[in-house]
Structure 1
Amino acid sequence: MTFSPEIGHYALILALALALIQSVLPIWGSRTGDAVLMGTAGPVALGQFAFIALAFATLTHAYLVSDFSVENVFQNSHSAKPLIYKISGVWGNHEGSMLLWVLILGTFSALIALFGRNLPLSLRANVLAVQGWITAAFLLFILKTSNPFARLSPAPFEGRDLNPVLQDPGLAIHPPLLYFGYVGFSVSFAFAVAALIDGRIDAAWARWVRPWTLTAWMFLTAGISMGSFWAYYELGWGGWWFWDPVENASLMPWLAGTALLHSAVVMEKREALKVWTVLLAILAFSLSLLGTFLVRSGVLTSVHAFAVDPERGVFILAILVLFIGGSLALYAWRAPALKQGGLFAPISREGALVLNNLFLTASCAAIFVGTLYPLALEALTGAKISVGPPFFNLTVGALSLPLLLAMPFGPFLAWKRGDIAGVAQRLVWAFGAALVAAGIAFAMFRGGPVLAPFVIGLAAYIIIAAVLEITERVQLFRAPLATAWARARGLPRSAWGTAFAHAGIGVMLLGIVGETAYRQEMIVQVKPGQTVSMAGYDLTLEGLVPTQGPNYRDLVARLSVREDGVLTGLMEPAKRIFTARNMPTTEAAMRTNVFSQLYVSPGDTGEDGSIALRIFYKPMVLLIWIGTLVMIFGGLLSLSDRRLRVGAPKPAARRPRLEPAE
């Protein structure tokens, strides 16, 4: 099969036509009770996905064969570029990344069509219709402002190459993971809007929404974590989070999605918090759309952002107004008709989950204000202000502390009404572990921030509480071992998943406090043969060695590493020049010792053969990303729970419909 760029362009036009059909016929059938029209949603969604996949395959083929007659390939590829970066170059630019966005959107629509057969026909039709609206809007955006198949005539002989900072394995993985998270929340959004249209929101709805929300949350967690790790080792700054506006744009939907997951549990168990859960489903995807606008509109200057023309920003702003404004207007109209369901005492598992939602959404609001206020102020008055890490660290840190303290109590509290004193008694071992960990930190790390040992104690408290949650449920040490083993095997996987996810937060917190509170740093100018020492390591510059890569040149600083006078390894940080763009990048070198790292980033060279080195010692830094992996593993365990795999049972034949409020 010949993958002509025109085939890809035509496939997008056909996909748009099918998206428009998917947007209209199923919802019309839902309103008229026509099962045939409602039944068109599934096949049309599958057809739409097939055409988008064809378009994406066509663009990928153009990159693989270095077809520089395609402007997008010319601007972002090079014939000497390694294969992995030819593939990642497909989404390493505005047009290709938007095509990846709609491909993932089409993938979720196809998954709903294939695995949503247990949904009521009307709800399934409405959900796929809402997905069709979103897909049609973004396909129109691509075809109108961001055509990835535009041709150049005559075709250039060679391409301009991909942005060098994007030529990294981490950036080959980071955008797809992040987009699966962003776009995954469109399913929760579609369920919320469809339920509001249909006028039926109950515990079964919460059961249907949870696996889709959990899937999006896991992908977004992985995407944010991968982006953080990439920034840590690739940018050469040695940091893992910078409160960059685009980083904030991914964190906001993550916080809203986390709140949605917990709120949906209350709704499923008690049919409470209906209004709030639906609003969170709308907000999570709305914040994802906001992140898309910030990256694509050109209003931000960031290592993550694409510099684009204003027409694209205006188009995406129109999409924001349409979907966010429209969904909130529908919510305002239908929400008063929703009954809240079961009541519960403030001290209960429901109450703990409400408290969780309160602090998560407050943190999200603080980040929202801190990120957008400078932009709004500049647009309205022309004044420029900067809201940086001190603001976010103080506000988000202050809101996170009570949340982390209260988090272990939730799983131990009973539904409807709990005994907080009894739970505190059951957590006594966690409190003891916190005191021991804080004491050890005080003894080991002298001279650091005063509050750091307390945060280490808090992390230990969270981890041990997660372990106690499981041991209590299986009655370990209180029942015979065979009984405890049988109870452990019969424990729902969602319970295991919750424990792992909470423990992962504790592990990540250990990494954060270790890296931020106890890291060591120095900047030195080193000549060949000279030795510098840090944290028990002696680094000797053996020389500067030039090397040649496929599309770049390296100047490698070869450093021998000794511990107690014994040679233990070699570190090779490098200054890299990509020949096509004549653009330099920094390739840091890292040496791992369990969870800690020695980190060396090269700077400018001197005429005397010396080189500037920025050297860090980062205690426990790897626990930041190990913690996120533990959280994702917990999500996978919960998703594998049979109750979520099978989905909610079909609703009873008679179910009252909500009438709009007068």
Structure 2
Amino acid sequence: MFIELGHFALILAAVVAVVQTVVPMVGAHKRWPGWMAVGEPAATAQLLLVAFSFAALTYAFVTSDFSLQLVVANSHTDKPMLYKISGVWGNHEGSLLLWVLILALFGVCAAWFGGNLRPDFRARVLSVQASVSVAFYAFILFTSNPFLRMELPPMNGQDLNPLLQDPGLAFHPPFLYLGYVGLSVSFSFAVAALIEGRVDAAWGRWVRPWTLAAWVFLTIGIALGSWWAYYELGWGGFWFWDPVENASFMPWLIAAALLHSAIVVEKRESLKSWTILLAILAFGFSLIGTFIVRSGVLTSVHAFANDPERGVFILLILAVFLGGALTLYAARAGVMEARGVFGMVSRESALVLNNILLAVACFVVFVGTVWPLVAEMLWDRKLSVGAPFFNAAFTPFIVVLALVLPLGAMMPWKRAKLRRTARSLLPAALLAVALGALAWAMQSGRSALAPIGLALAVWIMAGSALDLWTRGGRGPIGSRLRRILRLPGSDWGKAVAHGGLGITIFGICAMLAWQTEDIRVAQIDTPFEVAGYEITMTDVSRVTGPNYFSTMAEMEVRRGDKLVATLYPEKRTYPVARMPTTEAAIDNGLFRDIYLVIGDPQDQGGWAVRSYVKPFANWIWLGFIVMAVGGFMSLSDRRYRVAAGARKQRVSAPAQVPAE
């Protein structure tokens, strides 16, 4: 009965979303306050209904209700409780229910925290947001219903994909969806502004916190996915340029461009047209990612579904919303005339260059991702676009972006003098060159990747520190430090986020350039050396887990006479899913990881073993964490809350006459 109530609540939520789509939009057009006010209670009701529906599905997984098809296909009584819960969204149907839950959550946040928006504008935002919900409710109810019953329930389920039975993958999808779906609010703000016919500085301030929140959640989600791939898949890498990985990376790049572009709209009332386009494309790439994951048109190791019919439905959603928004964008081009004028050398110009680099980098990733599909459709050729293409085509844009970042952050608005800004950054440049040269001199016969990465990282981090120091003004050091500590959260957030990017760049370059890999057949009690460490496999045993069998090796790692670590790499077999997985054993450190993987037994005796020593590997994810912290620091700035933007808008003259 509880399951049927959850199904009914989902249907009722879809009906409420239809009402929220139509009534506030008509009310905003007719200037009827009562109709416009329907948006907030409708958004609240929609969230409560979807939350109840999601709770019903979660209850079915927790209690192992095998009368439900979805539970049979993705759960088992022996599965640990964490993975019973994560199994709710570890499949196509459940993940879509989580998607609409987060969509309703963001809609209700726009309703609750948008009280100081203009009533007509808020009504349009809530209406557009609900229209996206309507499309996904239809997708779930007509093609991906999670509440379908079994005619003859089995005694047990088929278990969740073993690769998903991991803490990293338990939390990775929710954060990723918070980022994907969070960009729908920026999309709703953009479409509402186009319908209204007004884009001004207040709009730029309103859209920034929503975009920043989505970008932070995407950052965390991508980091969790990368970390999982590093330690779970056993291949020792952190990024494979897989289509599903690219599907999350593309909106992250566009959202970063949107964040910087919205600053120009807010401060200088320029780049309005471009910023609106980025807001549309950011959510458009989220929908493209959904299509890639669920349509089956591109092969991926962690795609959710392989169903062309579902892919057609998502393609229809993409065409309606992206095509409709772009059509409206073209029709309203005349109302987005820029007001601010700026010189070729200015912060505005630096932000424009930042946007171009991020947008082109995103386009490169998009082309590399879909090119195999295009080649198969047009020429009937099977192609594979892998890491060499992406590394060669993507890296130059990031290098230029890293070089420009400190300069752009310290340039004044409207008009700047490049020589003066460069002079301020001279200590950072000297430090970066000196440390890069030192790294080059200390390494012997290796590539220039790590020294260049170190120089770029130091340039970005030292530049961010100098930016904060400059904002402290002149005077005694004590007074200057106190002024720096009192700087707004957005200034600190910008410096910290840029510094996090520098840390990640160095971590990637150092690990790729300086890592050592060893592949061999290891015999028990026969030591071998890897990068100065002596590794000995002392035992191999069979271990039984809650829902798997494991071959576990015990391996001692020594440096000289000192025992560094005892590691236990595994090769697991899940009998229900009939699928093996590799569990790498890692001795994590701030400056290096020792990474061991055990393979199959060999006919001549011994076991296949892969060993890696990876310098500065954890700096990759440390940088992601620092970037996310910087984003949260910026969100804490009260000036970027919706109310602050609304107050500014109310005291300023309207930028355009509304075109109804």
Q: TM-score, normalised by structure 2?
A: 0.98
> Does the alignment pair 1:554 with 2:550?
yes
Q: 2:193 aligns with which of 179, 192, 195?
A: 195
After superposition, where does 1:609-648 map in structure 2 within 5 Å? 610-645=606-641, 646-648=643-645
Amino acid paired to 2:169:
L
Q: 1:532 aligns with which of 521, 528, 536?
A: 528
Q: CA deviation at 1:149?
A: 0.6
Are the aligned partners of 2:503 and 2:620 in contact in 1 as well (CA < 8 Å)?
yes
Aligned partners of 1:409, 1:403: CA distance in 2, in Å? 10
Q: CA deviation at 1:482?
A: 3.3
Aligned partners of 2:415, 2:2: CA distance in 1, in Å? 65
* 1:536-561 per-position Cα deviation (integer Å, ceiling 9, x unaligned): 21111111011111101111110011
Alignment partner, residue 343 of structure 2: 345
Are the aligned partners of 2:7 and 2:147 in contact in 1 as well (CA < 8 Å)?
yes
Q: CA deviation at 1:422?
A: 0.7
Alignment partner, residue 79 of structure 2: 81
Amino acid paired to 1:647:
A
* 1:577-621 per-position Cα deviation (integer Å, ceiling 9, x unaligned): 112122110000011232310111111112565211111111111
Aligned partners of 2:27, 2:226: CA distance in 1, in Å? 46
Moved more, 448-457 or 244-253: 448-457
Alignment partner, residue 320 of structure 2: 322
Moved more, 583-592 or 308-317: 308-317
* 1:434-455 per-position Cα deviation (integer Å, ceiling 9, x unaligned): 1221122113221211343122
Aligned partners of 1:126, 1:609: CA distance in 2, in Å? 70
Aligned partners of 1:503, 1:292: CA distance in 2, in Å? 31
> Does the alignment pair 1:272 with 2:261?
no
Amino acid paired to 2:572:
R
Moved more, 374-383 or 508-517: 374-383
* 1:205-240 per-position Cα deviation (integer Å, ceiling 9, x unaligned): 111100000000000011111101100100001000
Alignment partner, residue 147 of structure 2: 149
Alignment partner, residue 649 of structure 1: 646
* 1:312-342 per-position Cα deviation (integer Å, ceiling 9, x unaligned): 1111111011001000000000022222011
Amino acid paired to 1:640:
S
Amino acid paired to 1:465:
G
Aligned partners of 1:363, 1:142: CA distance in 2, in Å? 33
Aligned partners of 2:650, 2:554: CA distance in 1, in Å? 71
Structure 1: any 5+ residue segments left out of the alignment? Answer: none
SS, match of residue 645 in structure 2: coil
| Runs of 4+ with deviation above 6 angstroms | none
SS, match of residue 318 in structure 2: helix
Are the aligned partners of 1:252 and 1:287 in contact in 2 as well (CA < 8 Å)?
yes
Amino acid paired to 2:503:
V
Alignment partner, residue 472 of structure 1: 470
Alignment partner, residue 47 of structure 2: 49
Amino acid paired to 1:247:
E
SS, match of residue 398 in structure 1: helix
Aligned partners of 2:485, 2:396: CA distance in 1, in Å? 39
> Does the alignment pair 1:596 with 2:595?
no
* 1:497-531 per-position Cα deviation (integer Å, ceiling 9, x unaligned): 11001111110011001111111101011111111
Aligned partners of 2:559, 2:214: CA distance in 1, in Å? 45
Amino acid paired to 1:649:
A
Alignment partner, residue 396 of structure 1: 394
Alignment partner, residue 407 of structure 2: 409
After superposition, where does 1:118-517 map in structure 2 within 5 Å? 118-475=116-473, 479-517=475-513
The structure-2 alpha-carbon separation of the partners of 1:416 and 1:527, relative to structure 1 and needing over 3 Å to count, comes to: same
Q: CA deviation at 1:462?
A: 1.0
Amino acid paired to 1:27:
M
Amino acid paired to 2:86:
S
Alignment partner, residue 60 of structure 1: 58
Q: CA deviation at 1:308?
A: 2.9
SS, match of residue 298 in structure 2: coil
Q: CA deviation at 1:660?
A: 5.8
Are the aligned partners of 1:334 and 1:660 in contact in 2 as well (CA < 8 Å)?
no
Amino acid paired to 2:597:
S
The structure-2 alpha-carbon separation of the partners of 1:388 and 1:422, relative to structure 1 and needing over 3 Å to count, comes to: same
Aligned partners of 2:564, 2:488: CA distance in 1, in Å? 47
Q: CA deviation at 1:428?
A: 1.0
Amino acid paired to 1:537:
Y
Amino acid paired to 1:295:
V
SS, match of residue 521 in structure 1: strand
Are the aligned partners of 1:333 and 1:660 in contact in 2 as well (CA < 8 Å)?
no
Are the aligned partners of 1:338 and 1:658 in contact in 2 as well (CA < 8 Å)?
no
Q: CA deviation at 1:38?
A: 0.3
Are the aligned partners of 2:449 and 2:509 in contact in 1 as well (CA < 8 Å)?
no
Aligned partners of 1:156, 1:595: CA distance in 2, in Å? 51
Are the aligned partners of 1:528 and 1:609 in contact in 2 as well (CA < 8 Å)?
no
Q: How many aligned positions are there?
A: 657
Q: TM-score, normalised by structure 1?
A: 0.97
